[in-house]
C-alpha cells in the first residue's frame, strides 16, 4: 500500500494546477459563506451584497414559476444535452425581441449549458489549446479565473486599455497590448461590464473587433446583464450613460471582423433572477464547426428534461416575459436611485451606470481627505470588518482592479434588508 503523500500527487497535472491557482473571488466567497444570513440557520448573519442576485422580482417570478412546473412521461427519457429545439427556439425568440440581432436568431444558433460560466468554459475548450491564452478586458468578473482556466491549460491575461474604470477604450493603449508570445486565441469582453455596469459604445466595440481581427482572435461577448439596463430610463427616452448594444446588432460586422470569430454568451441567471436554475446560452450565428464542437461537449453539462420543460413553459408566455423585463428595469432603476441618493448624502463616491444589479463605490478619497493613502491591505481589512459587522460586499481586488479602494455593492434587495446603513455605520 502506498502512502497518502505519493497518492495525492497522483492527480493529473491539470487538476493540481486548477486547485493551486489563486482565485481571489472564490477565496473570498468561501470566507464569507459561513457568515451569511440565513432565515433559520444563521438569522443574525451578514446581508449578501456581494453576490450578484436580484431579489426585486422574486415574488413575481415565484408566482409565475409555480404555474410552469411540470413533468411528463417523456421527460423520463434522454432529452437533448444542449437543450430541446423548443427551448432553443424560445431563447432565440427572446433574444430576437430584446437584443436586436441584425439577422434573426434561429434555434440552431443556441446551445444551452448549465450557466454562463459553463458557456465561457466550453467556448475556451473549443477555441484554445493547453499553452494558449485568453485576454480579458479588466477589471473583470473574478470567476473568469476559473471559467477560463480550470482543466483547460489555458492562461488568462488581463488587459487594461482604459484610462479609468468607467472610461472608454483608448486605442493607443489597446494597440500597445503585447500579443507576440502569448499564443492568444480569444478576447473576452463582458458588456455590460462587471463589476461597474458601464457599457461599451458601438465605436469602442468596433475598435475591439478590429483589434481582434488584426490578431486573428475569436471574440466572446458575455452579455449576461444585457436586460438589466435602465438606460434609457424606463418610461423616458433619456439616456444618462452609454446604452447597452449587443454585438449581435452591429450591422455589417464583417467590415471589422470575420463574423465566424464572434460569439455571445447569455443566460437567465441575472436578467431573470434565476441563479439557481443554471441556464447559460452559447449564441453563434456564423461558425457551424464551433456549434458542432460545443454540441458535442455539452453532454458533460447535460440539460435536465425537468429544467428544460420549466423554462419552455416560462419563456413561451412572451407577454409575461416582456412585462417582467420592463418591470425589472423599472425596479432596478428605483433601487439605483435610492442607493445613489443615499451614497450622495453620505459623500461616498460611486461609478454612475445604467445597469443593475450592482454599483461600484470608490473610497480612496475618504482616505485622501484624511491625508492617508488606501492600500489593498486596507481594502481587505475594510472588507473583513464589514463582513463581521453584518454586510458581505465584493472588493475591487477580486475583480482584478489595478488600484485599491473599490467595492461592488449589490443593491437589488428589499430596502429594509439593504443594509447600507449597517455598512457605513450611520444607523
Site for a second copy in 105-164 (CB under 8 A): 114-115, 117-118, 121-122, 125-130, 132, 146, 150-151, 153
Q: Taking contact as CB under 8 A, which single stretch among the options 61-69, 91-99, 346-354, 367-375 is the one that binds a second copy?
A: 61-69
Kindly tell me the burial class for residue 22, based on how many C-beta atoms sit within 10 Å of its own C-beta (0-12, 13-18, 19 or more).
exposed
The C-alpha cell of 83 is what?
Answer: 437543450
Q: Which residues contact 339 (CB under 8 A, 6 or more apart)?
A: 359, 409, 411, 418, 420
Bridge partners of 361, per DSSP, are 350, 407
Q: Which residues contact 370 (CB under 8 A, 6 or more apart)?
A: none
Q: Are 242 and 200 in contact (CB under 8 A)?
A: yes
Q: Which residues contact 6 (CB under 8 A, 6 or more apart)?
A: none
Q: Taking contact as CB under 8 A, which single stretch among the options 169-177, 197-205, 306-314, 380-388 is the one that binds a second copy?
A: 306-314
Strands 184-190 and 262-267: unpaired
The answer to whether residue 30 forms part of the interface with a second copy (CB under 8 A) is no
Chain residues 215-254 in contact with a second copy, contact rule CB under 8 A = 216, 218, 254
Q: How far is the CB of 33 from a second copy (least distance, A)?
A: 10
Q: Are 93 and 328 in contact (CB under 8 A)?
A: no
End-to-end CA, the chain: 62
Bridge partners of 406, per DSSP, are 362
Q: How far is the CB of 92 from a second copy (least distance, A)?
A: 21
Q: Taking contact as CB under 8 A, which single stretch among the options 54-62, 322-330, 341-349, 394-402 is the one that binds a second copy?
A: 54-62
Closer CB to a second copy, 210 or 340, in the complex: 210
The answer to whether residue 66 forms part of the interface with a second copy (CB under 8 A) is yes
Q: Taking contact as CB under 8 A, which single stretch among the options 3-11, 342-350, 395-403, 404-412 is the one that binds a second copy?
A: 3-11
The answer to whether residue 42 forms part of the interface with a second copy (CB under 8 A) is no
Closer CB to a second copy, 7 or 240, in the complex: 7
Q: How far is the CB of 380 from a second copy (least distance, A)?
A: 24
Chain residues 343-372 in contact with a second copy, contact rule CB under 8 A = none
Q: How far is the CB of 340 from a second copy (least distance, A)?
A: 25
d(CA 272, CA 328): 9
Q: How far is the CB of 126 from a second copy (least distance, A)?
A: 4
Amino acid at each position: 500500500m502506498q502512502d497518502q503523500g505519493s497518492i495525492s500527487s497522483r492527480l493529473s497535472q491539470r487538476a493540481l494546477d486548477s486547485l493551486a491557482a489563486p482565485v481571489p473571488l472564490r477565496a473570498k466567497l468561501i470566507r464569507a459563506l459561513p457568515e451569511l444570513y440565513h432565515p433559520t440557520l444563521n438569522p443574525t448573519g451578514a446581508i449578501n451584497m456581494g453576490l450578484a442576485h436580484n431579489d426585486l422580482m422574486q415574488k413575481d417570478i415565484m408566482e409565475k414559476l409555480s404555474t410552469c412546473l411540470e413533468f411528463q412521461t417523456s421527460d423520463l427519457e434522454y432529452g437533448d444535452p444542449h437543450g430541446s429545439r423548443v427551448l432553443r427556439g424560445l431563447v432565440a425568440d427572446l433574444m430576437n425581441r430584446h437584443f436586436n440581432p441584425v439577422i434573426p436568431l434561429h434555434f440552431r444558433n443556441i446551445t444551452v449549458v448549465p450557466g454562463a460560466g459553463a458557456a465561457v468554459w466550453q467556448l475556451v475548450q473549443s477555441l484554445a489549446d493547453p499553452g494558449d491564452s485568453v485576454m480579458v478586458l479588466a477589471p473583470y468578473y473574478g470567476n473568469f479565473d476559473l471559467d477560463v482556466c480550470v482543466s483547460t491549460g489555458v492562461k488568462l491575461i488581463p488587459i487594461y486599455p482604459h484610462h479609468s474604470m468607467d472610461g472608454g477604450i483608448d486605442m493607443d493603449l489597446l494597440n500597445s497590448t503585447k500579443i507576440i508570445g502569448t499564443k492568444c486565441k480569444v478576447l473576452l469582453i463582458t458588456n455590460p461590464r462587471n463589476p461597474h455596469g458601464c457599457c461599451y459604445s458601438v465605436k469602442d466595440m468596433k475598435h475591439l473587433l478590429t483589434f481582434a481581427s488584426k490578431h486573428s482572435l475569436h471574440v466572446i461577448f458575455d452579455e449576461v446583464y444585457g436586460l438589466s439596463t435602465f438606460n434609457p430610463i424606463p418610461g423616458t427616452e433619456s439616456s444618462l450613460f452609454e446604452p447597452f448594444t449587443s454585438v449581435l446588432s452591429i450591422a455589417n460586422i464583417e467590415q471589422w471582423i470575420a463574423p465566424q470569430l464572434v460569439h455571445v454568451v447569455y443566460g437567465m441567471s441575472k436578467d431573470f433572477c434565476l441563479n439557481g436554475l443554471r441556464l447559460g446560452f452559447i449564441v453563434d450565428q456564423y461558425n457551424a464547426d464551433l456549434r458542432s464542437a460545443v454540441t458535442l461537449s455539452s453532454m458533460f453539462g447535460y440539460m435536465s428534461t425537468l429544467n428544460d420543460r420549466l423554462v419552455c413553459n416560462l419563456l413561451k408566455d412572451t407577454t409575461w416575459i416582456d412585462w417582467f423585463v420592463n418591470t425589472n428595469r423599472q425596479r432596478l432603476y428605483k433601487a439605483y436611485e435610492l442607493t445613489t441618493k443615499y451614497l450622495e448624502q453620505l459623500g461616498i463616491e460611486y461609478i454612475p451606470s445604467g445597469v443593475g444589479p450592482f454599483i461600484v463605490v470608490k473610497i480612496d478619497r475618504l482616505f485622501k481627505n484624511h491625508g492617508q493613502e488606501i492600500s489593498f491591505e486596507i481594502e481587505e481589512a475594510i472588507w473583513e470588518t464589514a463582513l463581521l459587522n453584518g454586510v458581505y460586499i465584493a472588493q475591487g481586488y477580486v475583480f482584478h482592479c489595478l488600484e485599491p479602494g473599490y467595492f461592488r455593492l449589490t443593491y437589488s434587495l428589499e430596502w429594509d434588508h439593504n443594509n447600507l446603513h449597517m455598512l457605513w455605520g450611520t444607523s
